[in-house]
Amino acid sequence: MKKLLLASAMMAASLTAGSAFAECGSIKMAEFNWASGELMANVDKIILEEGYGCEIELVVGGTSAIFTSMNEKGEPQIAGEQWVNALRDVLDPALEEGRIHAVNKGPITGLGEGWWIPPYTAEAHPDLKTALDIIEHPELFPDSEDPSKGAFVGCPAGWGCQAVNANLFKAFDMEAKGWKLIDPGSAAGLDGSIAKANERGENWFGYYWSPTAIIGKYNLQAVPFGVEFVGNEHWTNCIAKDDCTDPQKSAWIKSEVYTLVTDDFYKGNADINAYLAARVFPGEVMGAMLVYMADEQAAGEDAAIEFLTKYQDVWTKWVSPEAAEKIKSSL
């Protein structure tokens, strides 16, 4: 029903906004193939179509495929949630040469990979402020098979983060301090260990990333490592490698997400660039929306309508009052 109502509203708006369509024109926009990527793309689509009179075509794809197409073909023109750490070797030259522009270097707050604990653990043990503090207390996180050891839940075998967690486990000397590195076996196993601990009120310490539904559902708390980031060279050439022989203690490398646009688009769409620059999803709101998408099995379009309806105090700050009224009337 929501889709039918939206389609009717969009058709009505299109009949009265002909001049606006002519100004904005047709735009191809990336719809990244993960939940937050689907949500952001569809929120942008509704806002740009209803508030700015654009015609948006969504192009579904992953990180590398979308960037390669933007960089080499100039399409799609907008990529809302581009994770850039894995693209540095091709992204940095594109930015320096002006083929691609980063109009927003933080479209979601609080995102990233690292080590997490449940909120009730943080509340019960306020002295555990960093990973260094937690590592001194394996007895608070007993392994179910060997309670004499603390359980640190790492990445499933085969994931890129497996080597990082194993090397940081070694760097922080966790085995000697009474810890076991647990391989959860799969994504489902990792999620299941978190769900089981939270439903039982048991302490849990391990790896995850945000924004994700499970971080939002259980409000897991990211743990500062208590040490500085070791630097890109050692991280890339040792900590991230399976054969790292002498890993150093380090905070997790900073995860960065940009909203990118092509050069032609950047030069001709100042109003839309301003919207994209102002469009920042608070991490807790994004987490709540991902929980909604998982619980309701909601696709990006329906989730976008839910977000625009429920969080008007958030998105109306991103657009002009005139655009906000147009968008509200379409919902």
What is the count of structural domains for the chain? Answer: 2
Q: What is the pLDDT of residue 24?
A: 81
Residue 61 in any domain: the answer is yes
pTM of the model: 0.80
- Of 238, 264, 291, which one is at a domain's C-terminal end? 238
Q: What is the pLDDT of residue 157?
A: 85
* 126 and 203 inside one domain: yes
Residue 145 in any domain: the answer is yes
Strand 150-153 versus strand 78-83 pairing type: unpaired
Between helices 2-16 and 35-52, what is the axis angle to 10°?
30
* 296 and 282 inside one domain: yes
* 116 and 104 inside one domain: no
Q: What is the pLDDT of residue 18?
A: 38
* 95 and 131 inside one domain: no
Q: What is the pLDDT of residue 5?
A: 42
Q: What is the pLDDT of residue 151?
A: 98
Contacts of 237 (CB under 8 A, 6+ apart): none
Residue 51 CA from chain centroid, whole number: 25
Residue 16 in any domain: the answer is no
Residue 3 in any domain: the answer is no
At 110-152, the pLDDT tens digits run 889 999 999 999 999 999 999 999 999 999 999 999 999 999 9
Q: What is the pLDDT of residue 85?
A: 81
Residue 320 in any domain: the answer is yes
Q: Which residues of the chain have pLDDT under 70?
A: 1-23
Task: Specify the DSSP class assigned to residue 320.
Answer: -
Cα gap 305→46, rounded to integer Å: 8
- Of 206, 238, 270, which one is at a domain's C-terminal end? 238
Residue 15 in any domain: the answer is no
Domain of 141: which CATH number?
Answer: 3.40.190.100
* 204 and 132 inside one domain: yes
Longest Cα separation, the chain = 71
Domain of 32: which CATH number?
Answer: 3.40.190.10
* 118 and 221 inside one domain: yes
Residue 21 in any domain: the answer is no
Judged by DSSP in three states, 244 sits in coil
* 118 and 159 inside one domain: yes
* 171 and 126 inside one domain: yes
* 77 and 195 inside one domain: no
* 267 and 232 inside one domain: no
Residue 248 in any domain: the answer is no
Overall size of the chain counted in residues: 331
DSSP letters spanning 18-85: HHHHHHH-EEEEEEESSHHHHHHHHHHHHHHHHHH--EEEEEEE-HHHHHHHHHHH--SSEEEEEE-G
DSSP letters spanning 247-298: PPP-PPPPP-EEEEEEHHHHHH-HHHHHHHHH--B-HHHHHHHHHHHHHHT-
Residue 266 CA from chain centroid, whole number: 24
Contacts of 49 (CB under 8 A, 6+ apart): 10, 13, 55, 56
* 106 and 118 inside one domain: no
**The tokens 């769409």 sit on which residue?**
269
- Of 210, 238, 266, which one is at a domain's C-terminal end? 238
Q: What is the pLDDT of residue 126?
A: 97
> Which residues form the domain of 232?
112-238
* 143 and 153 inside one domain: yes
Cα gap 290→287, rounded to integer Å: 5
